[in-house]
Structure formats: structure tokens, C-alpha cells
Amino acid sequence: MHVDNDPFNYLIEEFFPAPPSFGGLNKDGPPPKRVPFILPWYQHGDWLEMEIHIHLAYPSALQPDKWPRESAGPIAQVSEYFAHHVRAEDMQNPKLTTVDYRGTWNRVTPWLPWMLMGQAPGFCLYNCFMGTTSNLDEIFGRPVLDYAEKHYAKYFNAPEKWTGEPSLSSLEHYAHTQKPAPVKPAGAPAPK
């Protein structure tokens, strides 16, 4: 199964957005004081650089009592690490409405539900480069792009307006579109 999260979006304002509700599972509500939207950019020579680290622990949309083979536990604990690199002269150019950038994205997350690992020890680690391009064929082979365009067209064009619709996480999406896998009979051999 492919990771098919909703494209993440929020309205950029003078304050950071409130934390997501994770499909209504996060009952804490917004923090009492809103945090100003000031990003931690640093200049190193001709480059502006920024790292953002996000650490989350929230009730899983896949609770072990209903999803024993898919659920890594009652709490989903996830960390994400982003690094962005932008040319300083581009950021200061009032004629540009978008800038080229390069960066990395790393994520430490529980087992993906379709792996059927349950609460076995371990986790997944994603590592990838990110950035801008004017030609996706420079990055992906045509078979990958053809498949994505056919099955996941929502990723190819940015929305024209903000709707306020919440973005679902992988676990929420899985809980909405799948059914729990049958429980293995006691004493059944492990898959090879």
C-alpha cells in the first residue's frame, strides 16, 4: 500500500497554526497563547538555512483493541526533521513570488499499518531530499510519474484556494479506508 496522505496545508498568518486535531483524537485544543509565525532562519554566507524539528505524541487512529495487527500502540509517537536551504539574494528579491530551495526531510514513525507488525519493537525511518524543480522528469522516471499521475493526481497541482479542510495523517487515512486484518490463529507460523 502507498502512503497517500492528504496534501498538508494551512493558512499562513502572523501566528503558527493550532496543532492538528488528528481526526478529533487530539482533545487538548489550541494552546492558550498563540505563537508568532517567526521562522528560525540563519544566514551562512550567501545562503539562508533553517531547521525545524517536530515531535508528536497523540492518540492513534488505529487503537490496538480494534486494529491488533495494524496498530503500533495506543499512542502514535512521531518525529520529523526538516532542513531548508535558500539563496539569500532570492529571498530579498521583491520580483520573485517563489524561490528555489533544497533541503532534507527525515521522519521516525511507528510501523506502517499495512506492515502488520502490531506492537513489535522497532520503527520506520524515512530519509529524503526535497526541493523545487521545473521538471519532474529530472527526478523521477516516467513509469513512476505515469503511475502517480493516474492514481494520485492530487499531488500535481496546488489547490487554488484554501478550504480549511483538515489534512488526514497516514493512520487516519488508513482507518477511514481499510478494515482490520484477520487475527492470526494461535500457534500459526510466522511469515517467511
The residue type at 136:
L
**29 domain-assigned:** no
For residues 145-163, average pLDDT = 88
**168 domain-assigned:** no
* Number of folded domains that form the chain: 1
Residue, of 150 and 34, whose pLDDT is higher: 150
Question: What domain range includes position 70?
Answer: 41-139
Backbone angles phi, psi at 158, to 5 degrees: -70, 145
Average pLDDT score over the chain: 88
Does residue 191 have a pLDDT over 70?
Answer: no
What is the percentage of the chain residues whose pLDDT exceeds 70?
91
**149 domain-assigned:** no
Residue, of 86 and 137, whose pLDDT is higher: 86
Backbone angles phi, psi at 142, to 5 degrees: -60, -40
**158 domain-assigned:** no
**66 domain-assigned:** yes
**7 domain-assigned:** no
pLDDT tens-digit readout, 58-96: 889 999 999 999 999 999 999 999 999 999 999 999 999
**What is the C-alpha to C-alpha distance for residues 27 and 178, in angstroms, rounded to an integer?**
24
pTM assigned to the model: 0.81
pLDDT tens-digit readout, 21-57: 665 666 666 667 888 999 999 999 999 999 999 998 8
Chain mean position to CA 11? 17
How many C-alpha atoms does 89 have within 13 Å on its Cβ side?
A: 2
**160 domain-assigned:** no
